[in-house]
Amino acid sequence: MTLSMIVFVGWDPRDAKAHRVCEHSLRRRASIPVDVRSVVLDDLRDAGLYTRPTERRGQRLWDVISEAHMSTEFAISRFFAPLLAAQAGVRGGWIAFCDCDFLWLGDIVELLAAADPQKALCCVQHRYEPGEAIKIDGQVQAQYARKNWSSLMLFNLAHPAHRRLTIEMLNGVPGRDLHRFCWLSDDEIGALPPDWNWLEGTSVVGKEPPRAVHFTRGGPWVAGWEDVQYADLWRAEYRSVLATAGDAGERTLS
């Protein structure tokens, strides 16, 4: 049995509250120690790892190679997770990445139990075509193959296929190719149960809450999205964050 696990969570300063809830909810329900590490774009740049040319056009980041905007700072940096794990001395077993707008309601050990050890990468394989043109914080809802598959990824670091994910590829191919897992063949990608990446506003509501809610359109920390599905559970988790951290000066979701 896995005794501990590294989980990388995308960091964007606009979603700092969401990041705190994601980390807190993940740790609180995990039955093993979880080493949560933020994927911070500026840190990757400072380390000389992320060299992709990026511009700021108005309020948006623009990836020059992709000729497309980046809705979050971790739009592409998420794929550096195996490299970051290797630099930390981890070269076998499973690691995970998730977007910061996740609310974890299940034990990540159960997610690991659902992963196929013969696969290089496992994810929820959504068939997702967003109906809205604008999503969280006024960002454009981009369309690309395998939309949202990369928002929760389990990487099997022992699989030789990840040797193809080189630093040159990470910094040289369009983001849409990374999001479709261009370094993997279809038979190297495993499927996870859909309630581990339950898309608010798209996935069907069941009798019980899903095991991980993904507020991909926008969540209760964003003005105008306070009443989305499972917002009450997110707010309860945020109150737990504040109680645990003792943040006496931050008692509202303003």
Distance of CA 238 to the CA centre of its chain: 18
Radius of gyration of the chain (CA): 17
Per-residue pLDDT at 35 exceeds 70: yes
Percent residues over pLDDT 70 in the chain: 89
Per-residue pLDDT at 225 exceeds 60: yes
Query: What is the end-to-end Cα distance of the chain in Å, rounded?
Result: 42
In a domain? residue 147:
yes
In a domain? residue 178:
yes
Q: How confident is the model at residue 252 (pLDDT cuts 50, 70, 90)?
A: very low
- Domain containing residue 55: 5-193
- 146-163 pLDDT tens trace: 989 999 999 999 999 999
pLDDT reported for residue 131:
53
Q: How confident is the model at residue 135 (pLDDT cuts 50, 70, 90)?
A: very low
In a domain? residue 106:
yes
In a domain? residue 58:
yes
- Average pLDDT, integer, range 17-41: 98
pLDDT reported for residue 215:
97
Per-residue pLDDT at 249 exceeds 50: no
> Lowest-pLDDT range, 73-77, 109-113, 203-207, 210-214?
203-207
Cβ atoms of residues 119 and 159 within 8 Å = yes
CATH number of the domain where residue 79 is located: 3.90.550
Percent of the chain as helix, strand, coil, to the nearest 5: 35, 20, 50
In a domain? residue 204:
no
pLDDT reported for residue 30:
98
- Average pLDDT, integer, range 221-243: 97
CA atoms within 13 A on the CB side of 129: 0
Q: How confident is the model at residue 245 (pLDDT cuts 50, 70, 90)?
A: confident
**CA 240 – CA 30 distance, rounded (Å):** 16
In a domain? residue 238:
no
How many structural domains comprise the chain? 1
In a domain? residue 199:
no
Environment class of residue 148 by beta-carbon count within 10 Å: exposed (0-12), middle (13-18) or buried (19+)? buried
pLDDT reported for residue 198:
97
Per-residue pLDDT at 133 exceeds 60: no
Report helix, strand or coil for 10: strand
pLDDT reported for residue 60:
87
Q: What is the value of pTM for the model shown? A: 0.91
Q: How confident is the model at residue 129 (pLDDT cuts 50, 70, 90)?
A: low
What is the bridge-based pairing of β-strands 60-63 and 68-70?
antiparallel
In a domain? residue 218:
no
